[in-house]
């Protein structure tokens, strides 16, 4: 994995828990010298002294990749027993998975997945904030999903980056995480379902109905028990299609950033 060089001058007084801990290994053995904190265990250096304005450079693995006008988080595809993250995937989803069928899974996705398993939510949220400093949009689970044992961690991460004004979108089959994402200010996750009739089984929120043949994802919202189409996106490059409404965005056209700016699709306010 190539290192990610992040140059920034943020201060962490309000981000670090008590006692002050390392941003990387959460060790509390921190040495202070001239306004710079050095972790005695892993050697990471970071600032908390607001009197110091010298830029800090951290070298860290990249957790996201550029995609659709923002950044995307990729986890390995497949069942947990096979090393994947798709605990809630249906048989049909795994059978027609575009990502799985084009064999995009690689060691990097496995390493990123392990990184989220091993580290605390506040550290991961801060890392995502640093990486998205220039784009301000993160698409969660472009591949893979959030398994049950990571639900609380990702709920905390989403809440943290939402408070920093970073736009959030993505698809999940994790019902609990989906429920906890519906009140975010800067976007929300869509719950992937297999049939529109199943929307009634859930509460109000955003839903994604995939068309496995065309690659288009139809978005639906349910408000006070009533559902309606909220646009959609997608379309594989080898399956051209006509945009029947301005609420449908082609990934290869403008992508998630267009919807975030126009407040459409995943970013539309419930009517």
Average pLDDT over residues 192-217: 88
Q: Name the least confident of 83-87, 125-129, 152-156, 175-179.
A: 125-129
Q: What is the pLDDT of residue 70?
A: 86
Residues 9-67: tens digit of each pLDDT: 333 333 433 345 666 666 666 666 555 666 666 666 665 544 333 344 344 568 998 88
3-class secondary structure per residue, the chain: CCEEEEEECCCCCCCCCCCCCCCCCCCCCEEEECCEEEECCCCCEEECCCCCCCCEEEEEECCCEEECCEEEEECCCCCHHHCCCCCCCCHHHHHHCHHHHCCCCCHHHHHHHHHHHHCCHHHHHHHHHHHCCCCCEEEEEEECCCCHHHHHHHHHHHHHHHHCCCEEEEEECCHHHHHHHCCCCCECCEEECCCHHHHHHCCCEEEEEECCCCCEEEEEEEECCEEEEEEEEECCCCCCCCCCCCCEECCCCCCHHHHHHHCCHHHCCCC
> What is the reported pTM?
0.72
Parse the chain into domains and list their residue ranges: 3-61, 65-267
Q: What is the pLDDT of residue 69?
A: 76
Q: Is the pLDDT of residue 2 over 70?
A: no
Q: What is the pLDDT of residue 233?
A: 78
Average pLDDT over residues 183-189: 87
Residues 98-108: tens digit of each pLDDT: 666 554 446 68
Q: What is the pLDDT of residue 224?
A: 85
């Amino acid at each position: 994995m190539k290192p990610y060089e992040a140059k920034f001058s943020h201060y962490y007084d309000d981000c670090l828990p008590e006692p002050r801990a390392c941003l990387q290994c959460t060790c509390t053995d921190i040495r202070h010298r001239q306004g710079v904190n050095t972790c005695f265990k892993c050697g990471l250096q970071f600032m908390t002294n607001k009197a110091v304005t010298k830029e800090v450079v951290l070298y860290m693995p990249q957790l996201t990749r550029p995609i659709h006008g923002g950044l995307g988080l990729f986890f390995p595809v497949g069942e947990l027993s096979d090393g994947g993250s798709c605990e809630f995937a249906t048989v049909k989803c795994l059978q027609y998975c575009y990502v799985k069928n084009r064999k995009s899974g690689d060691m990097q996705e496995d390493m990123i997945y392990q990184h989220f398993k091993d580290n605390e939510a506040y550290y991961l949220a801060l890392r995502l904030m640093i990486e998205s400093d220039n784009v301000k949009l993160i698409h969660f689970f472009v591949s893979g999903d959030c398994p049950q044992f990571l639900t609380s961690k990702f709920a905390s991460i989403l809440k943290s980056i939402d408070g920093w004004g970073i736009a959030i979108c993505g698809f999940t089959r994790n019902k609990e995480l989906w429920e906890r994402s519906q009140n975010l200010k800067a976007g929300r996750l869509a719950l992937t379902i297999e049939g529109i009739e199943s929307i009634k089984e859930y509460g109000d929120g955003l839903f994604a109905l995939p068309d496995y043949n065309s690659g288009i994802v139809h978005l639906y919202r349910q408000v006070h028990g009533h559902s309606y189409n909220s646009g959609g996106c997608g379309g594989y490059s080898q399956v051209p299609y006509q945009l029947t409404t301005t609420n449908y965005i082609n990934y290869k056209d403008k992508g998630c950033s267009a919807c975030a700016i126009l407040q459409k699709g995943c970013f539309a306010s419930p009517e």
